[in-house]
Amino acid sequence: MYIAQAFNVLHDWWRYLVGLIIVIIGVVIGQIPFTIAVFYKAFQNGEKLQDLDESKMLSLLEPNLNLFLMLLSFAVGLVAVLFVAKFLHNQSIKHLTTSRPKIDWNRFWFVFIFWGALSSGLVLLDYMLSPEDYVLNFKLVPFLILFIIAVILVPLQTSFEEYLFRGYLMQGIGVLVKNKWVPLIITSLIFGSLHIANPEVEKLGYGIMVYYIGTGLFLGIMTLMDEGLELALGFHAANNLFTALLVTADWTAFQTHSVFKDLSDPTSAGFIDVFMPVFVVFPIILFILSKKYGWTNWKDKLFGRVEAPPVDDYKILEDTGSQE
């Protein structure tokens, strides 16, 4: 059991609180280079700091530099999560990733390729159906630089979010409340709420929050049903990586030297933006994965109790970190 195995490590409530604080500090430290660069550029342009909103900050820097500095904070955050797991909880990366004997990379690559191909196909289909909404944005040298940055740093960004929300916090909250639905709901709400400052929210309205929270639920359900993070890691990495490479817009968080630029001017989050992915596409993907990996007993895996195994079945880790 993915959540229940957290009983096998140091799982006092205060450790998760301290760990979360350390992770937040790590992310803030990682944001310092981006903040310095933006403030310096604003100073050069004669901009007033109080006038810098999220969209303005993202547009000040050259897109590749902006993406690199923005993703750097997530890379530092990932290091912080793994550091906390190792030294505060005596928990290995494998243990934080999966309940299987070893990390199943086949699962990661299956969903990565599956969703990468499908999402790219949907973008190309929309381009063919509505070519007036796009302009070819491809420039070889900037795109190659983007490709290198994205391939290295985007998976670190998405892995940070998965290890923090569907991993560290899912396990931590689960062993505290001793059920599965509470950590699923809480982590999904927090995950979605942290996107509220994205420029997409300003452009599309708060209705887009249904998509962000729904995506958190989708990834959480995937993790609980599959008893591990491999599928969530693969899906999230593919979603952000292929998006960064294929299409950008002036009102998105990822403003890149992508292949296409979206010129459409959406004013509110509608069916295609929100309800289609959350209520149609995501359930279909869960159904496909359930058939491939033989998921059963949905009620217990999503709403069941999280119980500590008998003392004889695992080693109790004392606060000192020693095993008895």
> pLDDT tens digits, residue range 140-169?
999 999 999 999 999 999 999 999 999 999
Residue 197 has pLDDT above 60, yes or no: yes
pLDDT of residue 54: 62
Quickly tell me which residue has 């599956």 as its tokens: 114
Compute the average pLDDT of residues 95-113.
97
Q: What are phi and psi of 96, to 5 degrees?
A: -75, -20
Give percent above pLDDT 90 in the chain. Answer: 74
3 state SS for 243-287:
HHHHEECCCCCCCCCCCEEECCCCCCCCHHHHHHHHHHHHHHHHH
Q: Is the pLDDT of residue 192 over 60?
A: yes
Residue 313 pLDDT exceeds 60: no
CB neighbours of 91 closer than 8 A, spacing ≥ 6?
Answer: 6, 9, 10, 85
- At 138, the pLDDT band (50, 70, 90 cuts) reads very high
pTM for this prediction: 0.92
**Three-state DSSP state, 136:** strand
Does the structure show a pLDDT above 60 at 318? no
pLDDT (0 to 100) of residue 53: 63
Q: What is the pLDDT of residue 305?
A: 95
Main-chain phi, psi angles of 264, to 5 degrees = -65, 160
**So what's the pLDDT on residue 320?**
39
40, 41, 45, 50 alpha-carbon torsion, rounded to 10°: -70
CA pair distance 239, 155, nearest whole angstrom:
10
Mean pLDDT of 118-145: 94
What confidence score (pLDDT) does residue 285 get?
98
| Beta carbons of 304 and 3 less than 8 angstroms apart | no
Q: Say which range, 47-51, 172-176, 183-187, has the weakest mean pLDDT.
A: 47-51
157: DSSP letter: H
- In the predicted model, is pLDDT for residue 61 greater than 90? no
Based on its alpha-carbon atoms, the radius of gyration of the chain, rounded to whole angstroms, reads 21
Q: Is 267 exposed, middle or buried (0-12, 13-18, 19+ CB in 10 A)?
A: exposed
Are the CB atoms for 254 and 248 separated by under 8 Å?
yes
99 DSSP 8-state letter: S
Burial class (CB in 10 A: 0-12, 13-18, 19+), 102: exposed
pLDDT at 169: 98
Residue 317 is given by DSSP the state B
Sheet holding 247-248, edge to edge: 134-136, 260-262, 247-248
pLDDT at 281 over 70: yes
Half-sphere exposure of 200 (CA within 13 A, CB side): 22
Q: 259 to each of 145, 235, 270, how far by Cα in Å?
A: 13, 21, 25
**Which residue is listed with tokens 């630029």?**
261
Beta-strand relationship, 247-248 and 260-262:
parallel
Report the distance separating Cα 92 and Cα 208, nearest Å: 36
Say which amino acid occupies 145: I
The more confident residue out of 89 and 271 is 89
Structure tokens at 132: 């007036």
> How far apart are alpha carbons 35 and 28 in whole angstroms?
10
Q: Is there a contact between 174 and 183 (Cβ–Cβ < 8 Å)? A: yes
